[in-house]
Structure 1
Amino acid sequence: MPKKRCFVVMGFGTKTDYVNGRKLDLNKSYRVLIKPVVEERGITCVRADEIIHSGSIDVKMYQELLEADLVIADLSTSNPNALYELGVRHALRPYTTIVISEDKLVYPFDLNHILITSYTHLGDAIDFEEVGRFRKALGQKIDTVLQTQESDSPVYTYLHSLVPPKLAKEIAEQAASPKAITDDQDSGKGKALSYLIDEGEKAIANHEFSKARDLFESAKLLSSQGKSQTDSYLIHRLAFCLYKAAEPSLKDSLYKALELLADINLAHSNDPETVGTAGTLKKKLYEIGDGENHLEDAILYFQRSYYLLNNRYHGINLAICCIYRVNSALNHTDEERVADLVIAKRTWKRVLYLCDRDQAKLEQKTAHTSEDSAKSEESEELSEYFQKQRFWIAVNKAEANFGLGNFEAYEKAISEAHSIPHPKWMWDSFETQLVKLKKELKLAGHLMNPQWKMPEENDTNP
Structure 2
Amino acid sequence: MGFGTKTDLATGRKLNLDETYHKLIKPVVESKGLLCVRADEIRHSGIIDVPMYRQLLSADVVVADISTANANAFYELGVRHALRPRTTIVISEQQMCYPFDLNHILITKYSHLGENIDYAEVLRFQKVLSDTLDTVLKIEDPDSPVYTFLSGLIPPKLQQKAEEMAQQVGAAIKNNEDENPDDNVTLSVILKEAEDALKSKEYEIAKVFLNRAIKISNCKTDPKLIASNSYLFHRLALATYKAEKPDKLTALHHAIDILDDLDLKHTNDSETVTLAAKIEKRLFYKGQGEDHLANAIQYYERAYFLLNNRYNAINLAFLINLRVDTNLFKTRQDKIADMILANRIREVTLRLCEQDWKKYAENTSAEKEEVMQQDNELAATQKAIENEQKFWILVNRAEAYFGLGNKEAYVEAREQAKQIDHKPWMLEVFDEQVEKLDELMNKYGHFLNVTEPV
TM, length-normalised to structure 1: 0.89
Which residue is equivalent to 2:125?
A: 134
- Native 8 Å contact 1:216 1:237 kept in 2: yes
Aligned counterpart for 2:150 among listed residues 159, 166, 174: 159
Which residue is equivalent to 1:72?
A: 63
Aligned counterpart for 1:265 among listed residues 263, 266, 288: 263
Q: Distance in 2 between matches of 1:196 and 1:387?
A: 30
C-alpha deviations, 1:213-271, integer Å up to 9, x for none? 22222222222266433301111111111121121122211211111212112111111
Q: CA deviation at 1:108?
A: 3.5
Q: Distance in 1 between matches of 2:427 and 2:167?
A: 51
Moved more, 166-175 or 284-293: 166-175
Question: Is 1:372 the equivalent of 2:365?
Answer: no
Q: Distance in 2 between matches of 1:374 and 1:432?
A: 38
Q: CA deviation at 1:367?
A: 3.5
Q: How many matched pairs? A: 433
Taking the TM superposition and a 5 Å limit, the aligned residue runs for 1:418-437 are: 418-437=418-437
Q: CA deviation at 1:41?
A: 0.9
Q: Distance in 1 between matches of 2:411 and 2:300?
A: 27
- Native 8 Å contact 1:276 1:302 kept in 2: yes
- Native 8 Å contact 2:64 2:91 kept in 1: yes
Which residue is equivalent to 1:83?
A: 74
Q: Distance in 1 between matches of 2:84 and 2:52?
A: 14
Which residue is equivalent to 1:111?
A: 102
Letter in 1 for 2:428: D
C-alpha deviations, 1:422-449, integer Å up to 9, x for none? 1122222222222222222222223222
Taking the TM superposition and a 5 Å limit, the aligned residue runs for 1:356-371 are: 356-367=354-365, 369-371=368-370
Taking the TM superposition and a 5 Å limit, the aligned residue runs for 1:386-397 are: 386-397=386-397
- Native 8 Å contact 1:99 1:116 kept in 2: yes
Aligned counterpart for 1:304 among listed residues 302, 305, 312: 302
Question: Is 1:195 the equivalent of 2:189?
Answer: yes
Letter in 1 for 2:369: S
Letter in 1 for 2:312: H
TM, length-normalised to structure 2: 0.91
Let me know the Cα RMSD of the aligned residues: 1.9
Q: CA deviation at 1:176?
A: 4.6
Letter in 2 for 1:399: E
Q: Distance in 2 between matches of 1:407 and 1:215?
A: 47
- Native 8 Å contact 2:46 2:216 kept in 1: no
Q: CA deviation at 1:162?
A: 1.7
Q: Distance in 2 between matches of 1:437 and 1:210?
A: 33
- Native 8 Å contact 1:128 1:379 kept in 2: no
Identity within the alignment, %: 48
Moved more, 239-248 or 83-92: 239-248
List gaps (5 residues or longer) in structure 2. Answer: 171-181
Q: CA deviation at 1:175?
A: 4.5
Taking the TM superposition and a 5 Å limit, the aligned residue runs for 1:56-455 are: 56-173=47-164, 175-176=166-167, 190-224=184-218, 227-228=222-223, 229-230=225-226, 231-367=229-365, 369-376=368-375, 377-449=377-449
- Native 8 Å contact 1:99 1:117 kept in 2: yes
List gaps (5 residues or longer) in structure 1. Answer: 1-9, 179-187, 452-462
Moved more, 145-154 or 85-94: 145-154
Q: Distance in 2 between matches of 1:152 and 1:189?
A: 38
Q: Distance in 1 between matches of 2:365 and 2:391?
A: 18
